[in-house]
């Protein structure tokens, strides 16, 4: 993780670079270049390098870093001009204080090839799609008590359990039906739970879950705006939405989406229509959320999504830069790039002339331009021997304890 440095502190650190002659490191093609500021920083920065840096040109971006009192500071500058070992750059907009123990990014070596494939199965389905990936990886305890192959029995168990605290329930799969009701469209667009503890009050204002799970009042407002509701009528529209539920006899209401990977395949709707029952709470949301995951897993185990399974072939993206902790790659806009989502896991082969490293990686961020998607990946399980080899391969020097604490940055 990298934290932006405040402007006052930034100006102070740039002054120290000159006053204390702090070395600045630049890594390229397994070579380490040490730069020193020749003049105080004003509108431009004047560096002198310990050796000639090949490939310099105006507007080239340089990713630099230095160590100050045990903390690694990184920043990016653009080359304005250069002559021999003297380099003039612009002044960085931001400096970043790196707090993690990952490693500096460098351009990919010419003799490194990288192959990717999805870890696990991926699908192309016709269900509503959201921009997040939902892994089915935390249902182990529940699966000890349930048989995923017995879908009918699973639904019967869920129905019997729900009767203990709710007046009624519905299970809907978006197979032959499309989202039409306001609640259904909200779930299909957000992939989050609509929780109304009391229809006599308001929608939730806060989401207590670390990984946000609820449709808040603000979410509902944005949805109404997207449907063309004038801003001046939004408060009234929300009030009428809640009142219509109350008038129909519903006192407490929950709509939990059933998620499978990046798809909303349906939902579980439970409600209370008798005032003698306690209103729903967050513990119930947790339980319904787990049931929804088990249902998705059971549908998968029973072959419900089999027709949409994608052939898991290796693919090659254009690696932009790489570090010992991860890499950034680009891939053209295509059906494949659409399913490369944050939290997706990939199997990665790093092929060098002397060793092939097999590891897994998680997509931690993505962004795009007009033609390409860009995906930042973090390696998950590279073994120590491969880490040491890969470090020395991409940085061109032995791995030391000093390097482990100094060369730090973001994936």
Of 3-12, 15-24, 78-87, 326-335, which gets the smallest average pLDDT? 3-12
Banded pLDDT at 238 (limits 50, 70, 90): very high
Beta bridge partners of 260: 263
Most trustworthy range by pLDDT among 92-106, 239-253, 275-289: 239-253
- Assigned architecture for domain 113-122+311-406: Beta Barrel (2.40)
- What class does CATH assign to 129-307? alpha beta
* 89 vs 411: CA distance, rounded Å: 24
Are the beta carbons of 375 and 331 closer than 8 angstroms? yes
Residue with the larger pLDDT of the pair 177 and 56: 56
Note the pLDDT of residue 137.
63
Banded pLDDT at 356 (limits 50, 70, 90): very high
The residues near 114 (Cβ < 8 Å, ≥ 6 apart) are: 108, 316, 317, 319, 322, 327, 329, 348, 349, 350, 351
The token pair that represents 409 in the structure block: 């940055």
Are the beta carbons of 14 and 66 closer than 8 angstroms? no
pLDDT in tens, 134-146: 876 666 555 566 7
pLDDT of 397 over the 50 cut: yes
Nearest alpha carbon to residue 253 among 240, 244, 262, 266? 244
* 96 vs 42: CA distance, rounded Å: 19
pLDDT of 399 over the 80 cut: no
Give me the phi and psi of 407, to 5 degrees please. Answer: -80, 95
Nearest alpha carbon to residue 318 among 369, 356, 373, 370? 373
Beta bridge partners of 35: 24, 49
* 161 vs 200: CA distance, rounded Å: 26
Nearest alpha carbon to residue 72 among 99, 32, 94, 45? 99
Specify the residue for token string 């890969």. Answer: 390
pLDDT in tens, 370-393: 888 888 898 988 888 898 899 888
Nearest alpha carbon to residue 322 among 143, 34, 111, 80? 111
Question: For 235, left (φ over 0), alpha (ψ -120 to 50), or beta?
Answer: alpha
* 188 vs 174: CA distance, rounded Å: 10
* 76 vs 4: CA distance, rounded Å: 13
Rounded to a whole number of angstroms, the CA Rg of the chain reads 27
Give the chain's length: 411
Beta bridge partners of 350: 114, 357
The token pair that represents 95 in the structure block: 């400096």
Question: Tell me, what DSSP letter sits at residue 214?
Answer: B
Mean pLDDT score across all residues of the chain: 86
* 122 vs 383: CA distance, rounded Å: 26
Note the pLDDT of residue 58.
94
* 125 vs 307: CA distance, rounded Å: 9
What are the domain boundaries of the chain?
A: 2-99, 113-122+311-406, 129-307
Note the pLDDT of residue 333.
84
SS3 per residue for 31-87: EEEEEEECCCCCCEEEEEECCCCCCCCCCCEEEEEEEECCEEEEEEEEEEEEECCEE
Going by their DSSP bridges, the two strands 96-98 and 326-332 should be labelled as unpaired
Going by their DSSP bridges, the two strands 86-90 and 44-49 should be labelled as antiparallel
Q: State mean pLDDT over 241-253.
A: 95
Q: State mean pLDDT over 73-91.
A: 93
> 62 burial class (0-12, 13-18, 19+ CB within 10 angstroms)?
buried
3-class secondary structure, 182: helix
3-class secondary structure, 399: coil
Q: What is the DSSP string of 233-245?
A: GHHHHHHHHHHHH
Share of the chain above pLDDT 70, in %: 90
Q: Does domain 2-99 have CATH number 2.30.110.10?
A: yes
The answer to pTM > 0.85 is no
Note the pLDDT of residue 79.
96
Domains 2-99 and 113-122+311-406 share a fold: no
Give me the phi and psi of 390, to 5 degrees please. Answer: -65, -40
Q: State mean pLDDT over 238-262.
A: 95
* 71 vs 119: CA distance, rounded Å: 35
End-to-end CA distance of the chain: 9
């Amino acid at each position: 993780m990298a934290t932006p440095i405040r402007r006052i502190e930034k100006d102070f650190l740039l002054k120290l670079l000159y006053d204390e002659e702090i070395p600045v490191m630049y890594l390229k093609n397994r070579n380490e270049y040490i730069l020193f500021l020749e003049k105080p920083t004003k509108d431009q920065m004047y560096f002198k390098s310990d050796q000639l840096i090949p490939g310099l040109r105006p507007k080239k971006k340089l990713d630099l870093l230095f160590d100050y009192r045990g903390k690694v500071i990184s920043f990016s500058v653009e080359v304005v001009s250069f002559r021999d070992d003297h380099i003039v750059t612009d002044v960085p907009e931001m400096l970043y204080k790196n707090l993690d123990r990952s490693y500096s990014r460098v351009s990919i070596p010419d003799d490194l090839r990288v192959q990717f494939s999805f870890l696990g199965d991926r699908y192309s389905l016709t269900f509503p799609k959201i921009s997040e990936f939902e892994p089915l990886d935390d249902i182990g305890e529940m699966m000890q008590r349930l048989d995923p192959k017995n879908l009918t029995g699973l639904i019967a168990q869920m129905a019997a359990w729900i009767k203990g605290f709710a007046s009624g329930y519905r299970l809907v799969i978006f197979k032959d039906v499309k989202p039409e009701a306001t609640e259904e469209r909200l779930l299909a667009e957000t992939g989050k739970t609509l929780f109304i503890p009391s229809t006599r009050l308001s929608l939730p204002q806060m989401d207590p879950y670390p990984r946000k799970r609820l449709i808040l009042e603000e979410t509902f407002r944005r949805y109404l705006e997207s449907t063309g509701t004038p801003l001046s009528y939004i408060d009234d529209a929300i009030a009428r939405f809640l009142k219509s539920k109350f008038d129909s006899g519903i006192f407490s209401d929950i709509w939990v989406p059933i998620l499978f990977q990046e798809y909303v395949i349906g939902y579980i709707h439970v409600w209370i229509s008798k005032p003698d029952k306690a209103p729903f709470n967050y513990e119930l949301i947790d339980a319904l959320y787990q049931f929804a995951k088990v249902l998705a897993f059971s549908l998968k185990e029973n072959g419900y999504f089999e027709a949409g399974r994608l052939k898991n072939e290796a693919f090659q993206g254009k690696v932009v830069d790489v570090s010992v902790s991860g890499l950034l790659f680009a891939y053209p806009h295509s059906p494949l790039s659409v399913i490369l989502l944050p939290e997706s896991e990939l199997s990665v082969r790093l092929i060098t002339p002397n060793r092939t490293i097999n590891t897994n990686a998680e997509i931690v961020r993505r962004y795009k331009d007009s033609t390409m998607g860009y995906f930042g990946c973090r390696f998950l399980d590279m073994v120590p021997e491969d880490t040491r080899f890969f470090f020395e391969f991409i940085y061109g020097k032995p791995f030391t304890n000093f390097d482990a604490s100094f060369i730090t940055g973001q994936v």
